[in-house]
Chains A and B, each alone.
Chain A
Amino acid sequence: MAGVIGSAIKRREDPALIQGKGRFTDNLSVPGMQYASIVRSPYAHGRIESIDTSAAQATPGVVAVFTGKDIEESPSGGVVPTVWLLPTLKTPPHPILASEVVRYVGEGVAVVVAENPYIAKDAADRVSVEYEPLGVVCDPEDAVAEGAPQLFEEAPRNLAFEWELGESEPVEEAFTNAPKKVELKLRNNRILPHPIEPRSALASYEDHSGELTLWLTSQNPHVHRLLMSLASIGLPEHKIRVIAGDVGGGFGGKIHHYPDEAIASWCSMQLNQPVKWTATRSEGNLTDAHGRDHVTRAALALDEEGRIRGFKVETHAAMGAYLSTFAPAVPTYLYGTLMSGQYDMPAIHVSVKGVFTNTAPVDAVRGAGRPEATYVVERLMDLAATELDLDPVEIRRRNFVAADAFPYQTQVALEYDSGNYQGTLDRALEIAGYDELRAEQTRRREAGEKPLGIGFSTYIEACGLAPSQLVGALGAQAGLWEAAKIRVHPSGSVTLFVGTMAQGQGHKTTYAQIVADRLGIDLESIDVREGDTGEMQFGMGTYGSRSAAVGGSAVVKGLDRLIAKGRLIAAHLMEASPDDVVFENGRYSIRGGDPSEGHSFGEVTLQAYLAHNLPEGTEPGMEETAFYDPANFTFPFGSHIAVVEVDPDTGEIELLRYIAVDDCGNVINPMIVDGQVQGGVVHGIGQALWEEALYDDGGQMISATLLDYALPRAHKVVSMELDRTTTPCPHNPLGVKGIGEAGAIASPPAIVNAVVDALKPYGIRHLEMPLTPEKVWRAIHPGEDA
């Protein structure tokens, strides 16, 4: 089917989902299933003095109650590990149930298994735990201070690691000599991933086979299986089958390997019964790995014309109480490496302290490191524009990496593959009607009306994670290649297995488009399957906007091998040399001959299975497994413009318009790509305006339910104005980049820049996210108390 790539094909996932037939983990039941409820610490830091489970045990309907001691005494590993190691990293163990010390509110200390979730909760409430409270520290800067409470003996000053990138000498030199300097301290607010589906696990162990089947809300089932086996429950990998059915959003939160899913599995193994655990919303909010939580000091050195000479960034990044799965990579290799933004910066130095705090662990949330970096870069660019009295557009123009400068080597390790930054900005300005907007801003200022603000974010993203050798050198305990298995059935229909795992990205549609395009067959003849470790040998899952670029490339690689095999068979059937056989529109034919006299891919496949008449040395059957290891990251980019209005009397912000022009290389399904942009942008708007996972000084999470944690709602956002440019990725076969995170990376600085732009007449340099009305109002009215 030529032309199927690039078409807005309706999603094949949807018929089930719009009829309520989704196979989400908590929807599943198996005979004999019991329910787990986890008893959680109400203290942010404390020593467990005693646990009395007798009343819980005595509750009718309770099957079992276990504590951390029970797990310690079993031959399970009993921990969840981190899999990204940095040279100085401290890795204190993270037990799946705490038995001695708890380090954040919500950490599990016991588990009840009962016949229904109501009884399980009743009994969990009856587990009596005594704690000796210990000192609490939640802020990453406070945590490294002299005298701060210490989370781990092995991590003095609560330092999990210290890390740096770039050369400091040229940066210091630039700062010594540069005529202009701009400095800012800024915080990147801690946010929740908050997929609408809470995490859930249904573990079913059978002692006669020694096998565990684990249905899981997972973005990467194979990684979960591996870590479960190596570290958590002591079962060999081949005895664990992880199945992620439909996953109700992830946004990073379902990448990580958590204690709770391991506890459910361990309980099932003890009881030889299926055990389901599903997080309640507040439980999920207390224990899902959070995102961001950086405190950063950054400074730009510039010349008189606003050209950047040097950039230095110092960040304290909270790790939370334990190191989550990919946590050490997020504020380092996914953050420091992005500090060049879209700009030609001659000298950059980034240093990061990873800090233990008495909070939920912090790990990747949509964008993971790149939103934090983009926020620092784009805020500093705007501040520099203000202090040099330049238009924010002009300062960007003067510093862009030129369109003819690719591949471009940054001072922070990355080599950008392709780009045209001026191109997306020009298009965004055109859509926005920039001159009219500025005129309106001036008019309002003169008329004393509500201030209007125009905010820019010209972002770069590194995604398509990632070249295995490179990430190995940087500390990853895994390769980040991807695998595809393409099974062509004798009748010519195809089942494609890929090691990625969608949580809404529409892989069943997108991958099918690739197959249909390459093999020239109907979409109806193609099924795409993901998420079952029993079907696919390995894969690295879906995060870091990697599925199209890495998974899609694996699919293409496998398809090309199948086509090559088919060519041999077709040539044999047509008594021609394979070199003379072409494959076009799904048919093999003699070059220059009549295609109708050739053979379709299906016909050739049938011959491969019949195997009555195959060329010598050709195996029967038609199936390929391909592994694709990317040559580089891919580098999507774009220009976003937010237009806001601020009510100076109340501090309320109204979003008026949002323009996004993105370039993610070639597009397989424009409808899906637009949907990813829309969702991502609104995700980032949420971070900028409303969302904050906030702890009080005692380590209690103030915003653990939706009564306090504000997600974007329909009536608070607008329909966005979108467009694209296309600069293909030069190093993968589809020329694709990635778009799942771009919106969330771009939009926070666009919003904050817009609000600060609106409030420029008040002399406001910066406002911290989320931009709550009180914060904005107080900035406008310093020192004023009503």
Chain B
Amino acid sequence: MYPAEFDYVRADSVQEAIELLNQHQDSKLLAGGHSLIPMLKLRLAQPATLIDIGRIPDMEGVSLKDDVVQVGALTTHAELTDSETLISLCPLLSEAASRVGDPQVRHRGTIGGNIAHADPASDLPAPLLALDATVHMVGKDGERSVAIGDFFVDLLTTALGEDEVITRITIPIGKDSRGSSYLKMEHPASGYAVCGAAALVSRSNDGSHVRLALNGVTATPCRGGAVEEALKGSDLTDVAIDAAVDDHLSISEPLSDNFASGSFRVHLAHVWSKRALKIARDRVSE
């Protein structure tokens, strides 16, 4: 309940944050704090210094530039939920954000903090993976971009360098008509996803394309690539979806805990994938 001592510095710009990261050994970035502060309170994290990036200007909000949605790293889950841009162009992300925690958590938790923490049971990783998002980060050697699939390295581990700051997440928006769905089985205590499925269905002249990703099931969010491949050009009937998931969704090394064993999670992944794909299909605007 009582965090250990730490120093606190505030960064007014990304550059300053990077400088501070280089100056302070054993430091951590603080944005909304909703992943970090609970760890501090349980003394599972005891950094020497917190660098508060929560007030850096221009790192918050959702905008559209050249068919790419730009999401500032400090954008809160509530802003993701309510963003008109996301609701119209990228409803999968706003739907998933609306399922994060509870209203209070959504008011303060940020997308940058969320992915930096890389909790596999969080709600945002699978939708970002299905959306082919890119994470942009800045360090002392300048800016670099990492595809979301490469960003999550392991449980609570990312490609973010020790002196880097996530500045924004970008999501390409296709021109075809799309439907999407995020479904999850919620852990009754924590509210995290025991299994979350993000599905995206698009229809263009060359037929249907689906994208499917899961969180809560494995140490990092996983993409149902083989299912996507199997459903390429499919008419996406219930039968086709069920068969594709049954035959092609393979999950290795599932997470396991007292609430849900690995094999049950694998089973859930199949059930939720089918359901999410069907809802996404039904939501495709013709």
Contacts and interface: CB of A to CB of B under 8 A. Distances in A.
B264 A786 contact: yes
Which 6 A-B pairs have CB atoms at the shortest separation, nearest pair first? A786-B267, A710-B188, A710-B189, A280-B1, A121-B2, A774-B264
A700 to B, nearest CB: 11
Interface stretch (A166-174, A289-297, A701-709): A701-709
A79 interface: no
B189 A708 contact: yes
Interface in A728-786: 772-774, 777-778, 785-786
Interface stretch (B65-73, B107-115, B173-181, B255-263): B255-263
Contacts of A703: 189, 258
B190 interface: yes
A774 B260 contact: yes
A117 interface: yes
Interface in A677-720: 689-690, 694, 702-703, 705-711, 713, 716
Interface residues of B, number: 24
Given A649-B271, A785-B263, A716 B2 contact: no
A47 to B, nearest CB: 26
Interface in B245-282: 258-261, 263-264, 266-268, 270-271
Given A650-B271, A774-B264, A777-B267, A122 B5 contact: yes
Interface string A109-134: 00000000110111001000000000
B43 interface: yes
Contact of B2 (A118, A650, A652): A118
Interface of A: 117-118, 120-122, 125, 280-282, 649-650, 652, 689-690, 694, 702-703, 705-711, 713, 716, 772-774, 777-778, 785-786
Given A281-B1, A785-B267, 4 more contacts: A120-B2, A122-B2, A694-B258, A773-B194
B56 interface: no
B4 interface: yes
B4 A652 contact: no
29 contacts: A117-B1, A117-B2, A118-B2, A118-B3, A120-B2, A122-B4, A122-B5, A125-B43, A280-B1, A649-B271, A689-B188, A690-B189, A702-B258, A703-B189, A703-B258, A705-B42, A706-B189, A708-B190, A710-B187, A710-B188, A716-B188, A772-B260, A774-B259, A774-B264, A777-B264, A777-B267, A785-B267, A786-B266, A786-B267
Contacts of A713: 188
Contacts of A282: 42
B267 A707 contact: no
A773 B260 contact: yes
A650 B268 contact: yes
Of listed B42, B188, B189, residue having the most chain A CB within 10 A? B188
A689 B259 CA distance: 12
Contacts of B190: 706-708
B188 A690 contact: yes
Interface string B42-58: 11000000000000000
Contacts of A121: 1-2, 43
Nearest to A784: B267
B185 A786 contact: no
A711 B263 CA distance: 26
Contacts of A711: 189
Contacts of A705: 42
A233 to B, nearest CB: 26
